[in-house]
Amino acid sequence: MNIILLGPPGAGKGTQADMLTEHYGMAKLSTGDMLRAEVASGSAIGSKLQAIMSRGELVPDDIMIDMIRARIQKPDCGNGFTLDGFPRTEGQAAALDEMLAKEKKSLDFVIELAVDDKILVDRISGRFSCAKCGAGYHDHFKPTKASGICDACGSAEFSRRADDNAETVAKRLKAYHAQTAPLLPYYKKKGLLVSVDGMAPMEDVTASIRKIIMSQPSRI
Ligand code: AP5
């Protein structure tokens, strides 16, 4: 089963992609995580990427397409994958169609997490993650069980993303509406788009996604 999660910054794509990995063993293909790993590696391309991301702009299509093309061919994608953060432009969507056809793969669902812009800034400004294992949290919506200790690995070190500030979030939202939202009608036309209320509590969003998947058991 291959799924795209579509939605604005902070809509919950990463959170729900983790759920799909946990429940269905699907590989999580997060382009944001891949780009941040490249930045953290200290490579020359990493510093160019960091500049683009800190401006809240999209990285050029050719870089993103090459990144996903290489990732989709890895063996763990044979169990199915969730795309979190890709495609983000019509060019990326067309390239994805081509690469899936070449790999004799197809998309099963494109799930939109619909969230109003006004609540996204709160969501993003409260987000933090474990600096050791990467587990994600939120100051109010998903705190650690024991204060200051990661539930997953016990580390006491946490970090916040450099692009999670109000000014950059506003630019990321603008980029979403101008460049990514046109993908909603693109996938609707293909009969793949399903929309869920991304403003519901996390567990309810998860339940809605699982219901959509269970309604088409042949695709699992
Ligand atoms: P990326 O890392 O993909 O960021 P994004 O799309 O802006 O999405 P986020 O990771 O901010 O949010 P999310 O939807 O995953 O929400 P999350 O689950 O964390 O991209 C970063 C940058 O990289 C881009 O700006 C761009 O420069 C570049 N880039 C990446 N891909 C690219 C591409 N394909 N092309 C070009 N450039 C690209 O949730 C957010 C918070 O809310 C968390 O704290 C979570 O705990 C909480 N939360 C989640 N769900 C709920 C809920 N239902 N209720 C309450 N709280 C919730």
Ligand 1: residue whose CA is nearest its atom 48: 12
pLDDT beyond 90 at 217 = no
107 Cα: distance to centroid of ligand 1 (angstroms): 21
Tell me the pLDDT band of 218, cut-offs 50, 70 and 90. Answer: confident
Listed residue (47, 119, 32, 30) closest to 81, CA to CA: 30
* Residue 86 Cβ < 6 Å to ligand 1: yes
Ligand 1: residue whose CA is nearest its atom 45: 138
* Residue 142 Cβ < 6 Å to ligand 1: yes
Q: pLDDT for 143-172, tens place per residue?
A: 999 999 999 999 999 999 989 988 999 999
pLDDT beyond 80 at 4 = yes
Residue 95 tokens, joined: 């390239």
Quote the pLDDT of residue 35.
97
Quote the distance between the C-alpha of residue 21 and its chain's center: 13
Q: pLDDT for 70-121, tens place per residue?
A: 999 999 999 899 999 999 999 999 999 999 999 999 999 999 999 999 899 8
* Residue 8 Cβ < 6 Å to ligand 1: no
pLDDT beyond 80 at 220 = no
Residue 88: active-site member: yes
Residue 161: active-site member: yes
Quote the pLDDT of residue 174.
96
Quote the pLDDT of residue 166.
86
Q: pLDDT for 199-211, tens place per residue?
A: 999 999 999 999 9
Which of helix, strand or coil describes residue 72? helix
* Residue 93 Cβ < 6 Å to ligand 1: no
Contact 205, 16 (CB under 8 A): yes
The structure's pTM equals 0.94
Which among 38, 138, 144, 169 is the best mutation to test ligand 1's pocket, defined by most ligand atoms within 8 Å of the CB? 138
Residue 172: active-site member: yes
What type of residue sits at position 126?
G
Which of the residues 13, 28, 71, 123 is marked catalytic? Answer: 13
Contact 127, 136 (CB under 8 A): yes
Kindly list the distances between the CA atom of residue 171 and the CA atoms of 54, 58, 168, 177, in Å, as whole numbers in the listed order: 10, 10, 5, 10
> Which of ligand 1's atoms lies nearest the C-alpha of 68?
34
* Residue 17 Cβ < 6 Å to ligand 1: no
Quote the pLDDT of residue 79.
87
* Residue 138 Cβ < 6 Å to ligand 1: yes
Quote the pLDDT of residue 201.
96
Q: pLDDT for 30-82, tens place per residue?
A: 999 999 999 999 999 999 999 999 999 999 999 999 999 999 999 999 989 99
Quote the pLDDT of residue 124.
92
